[in-house]
Amino acid sequence: MTHRLVLVINGGSSSIKLALRKQGSSKPVFEAQAERLNTPQASYSFPGGSECSLPDANHQDALNALLPLLDAHLDQPISAVGHRVVHGGEQFTGPRLINDEVLAGIEANAPLAPLHNPANLSGIRAAMKLLPDIPQVAVFDTAFHQSMPPHAFRYALPDELYAVHGVRRYGFHGTSHQYVAHQASLLTGRAETAGAWLSAHLGNGCSSCAILDGKSMDTSMGLTPLEGLVMGTRSGDVDPNLHAHLARTLGWDLPRIERLLNRESGLLGLSGLSNDMRELEQARAQGHGGAQLAIEVFCYRLARSLAGLAVALPRVDGLIFTGGIGENSALTRALTLSHLAVMGLHVDPDRNSALKRGEAGRIEATGSPAILVIPTDEERQIAEESLTLLDRQHLEMETPA
Ligand code: AMP
């Protein structure tokens, strides 16, 4: 069987990232990105190449410059373009072949992700224009969590806010949670998606998830990616009355409060130093009190979230760490697990610290449920989901009704 090629595109508000992936492979064939789009400093770069300036380039200009770079890496035509889309609302419960209806749906969900969905759309429109003959697939960050039951996704608010205005918990990082849970099943010798997993995606954004037999049962992020865990610069959960309190006592308006909670809080706010876990670990080792507190709050709140999510599962087969922090910070894993003995989870300190960067591995002590460290690969998941969708549609077209 030939292993097909998929171009994965992640359009951000001022950037666009490209990854050429071969089916079944854990490594990209080629990657490139353009940054600072729509500014005089716009540029693109790729591993092994020097940065090239593209003054005032928009998403389409950037793609125009980047696509010819793929040519040297193509041993066959590209079978699909897979786009990461942040918010699919309730409409999109899985990947979709992009057509006018899907484009309108992504646009309709933009109020729920005003920074992300319009940027994703810019990437999609540019790719559709430049690669009109290749099927384009949208893979949604929220889709995996559409399996959550109402008791997990509803807020205790008047029904109208949900029914008319779509105010509910959606969850994000679905592509990552789905990918690592699948890998955990394979790594522990189970069938494809079998198992009851807790997963912690810890990068600049952080979320936790309870997954049963390949389905999300609950997750820490909500209507927006601000709810839940402490993150790099995001506060995670705070008292919902904080907005009113700050408005009343300090006279702050909504944009000021949004900036506080999204950009000035989390590890950065607590430490007064940095949003970067590596930097905080170094500072902690040198006795920096703020760094120590930030790491302690991060780990305690993560453990509390994971223990809470366990009630969404009939049992816990294991816990998965992923994302830049989850994959690389033995300290974060150890401190988090120090709060989870109540669940029978115990780490083997030697295994935890011996794990090499980029490697998957098991770090539990004897007798503990599995504790896995699994490098996430959202692009691979997007590529595989795009191909699976195309194959299914192909089959449906061939099978008479
Ligand atoms: P991501 O958004 O998944 O790229 O993750 C970024 C986060 O991972 C940042 O807070 C980094 O400091 C953190 N990170 C990456 N490598 C390490 C490491 N070796 N030790 C601790 N944190 C790390």
Alpha helices in 4-155 (DSSP H): 59-70, 100-108, 117-130, 150-153
Instruction: Give CB contacts under 8 A, 24+ apart, made by 18-22.
Output: 18/63, 18/66, 18/70, 19/379, 20/70, 20/73, 20/74, 20/78, 21/379, 21/380, 21/383
Cα separation, 6 vs 386, in Å, equals 8
Per-residue pLDDT of the chain in tens (401 residues, 90 and over written 9): 689 999 999 988 889 999 999 999 999 999 999 999 999 999 999 998 889 999 999 999 999 999 999 999 999 999 999 999 999 999 999 999 999 999 999 999 999 888 889 999 999 999 999 999 999 999 999 999 999 999 999 999 999 999 999 999 999 999 999 999 999 999 999 998 999 999 999 999 999 999 999 999 999 999 999 999 999 999 999 999 999 999 999 999 999 999 999 999 999 999 999 999 999 999 999 999 999 999 999 999 999 999 999 999 999 999 999 999 999 999 999 999 999 999 999 999 999 999 988 899 999 999 999 999 999 999 999 999 999 999 998 878 777 66
Q: How far apart are CA 98 and CA 80, in angstroms?
A: 11
Q: Which DSSP state fits 39?
A: S
CA of 18 to the centre of ligand 1 (A): 21
Alpha helices in 168-241 (DSSP H): 174-187
Active site residue 218: no
For ligand 1, say whether the CB of 264 is within 6 Å of any of its atoms. no
Ligand 1 atom nearest 279 alpha carbon: 12
In the three-class reduction of DSSP (H, G, I as helix; E, B as strand; rest coil), residue 64 is classed as helix
For residue 204, which atom of ligand 1 is closest to its CA? 2
The CB of 325 under 6 Å from ligand 1? The reply is yes
Domains and CATH numbers, the chain: 5-140 (3.30.420.40), 190-378 (3.30.420.40)
- Given the CA of residue 281, which atom of ligand 1 is nearest to it? 21
Centre of ligand 1 to C-alpha 327, Å, is 8
Q: In a 3-state reduction of DSSP, which class is residue 152?
A: helix
Beta pairing, strands 16-22 & 361-362: unpaired
Determine if ligand 1 sits within 6 Å of the CB of residue 277.
yes
Catalytic residue among 61, 71, 141, 377: 141
* Cα-to-centroid distance, 75 and ligand 1 (Å): 34
- Three-state DSSP state, 57: coil
Pick from 329, 357, 359 the residue to mutate for probing ligand 1's pocket: most ligand atoms within 8 Å of its CB.
Answer: 329
Q: Which residues are annotated as a binding site for Mg(2+)?
A: 10, 378
Per-residue CA distances from 106 to 99, 139, 163, 259 (Å) = 11, 11, 19, 25
> Could you give the CA distance from residue 57 to residue 273 in angstroms, rounded to a whole number?
34
CA of 329 to the centre of ligand 1 (A): 7
- As a whole number of angstroms, the distance between CA 61 and CA 146 comes to 35
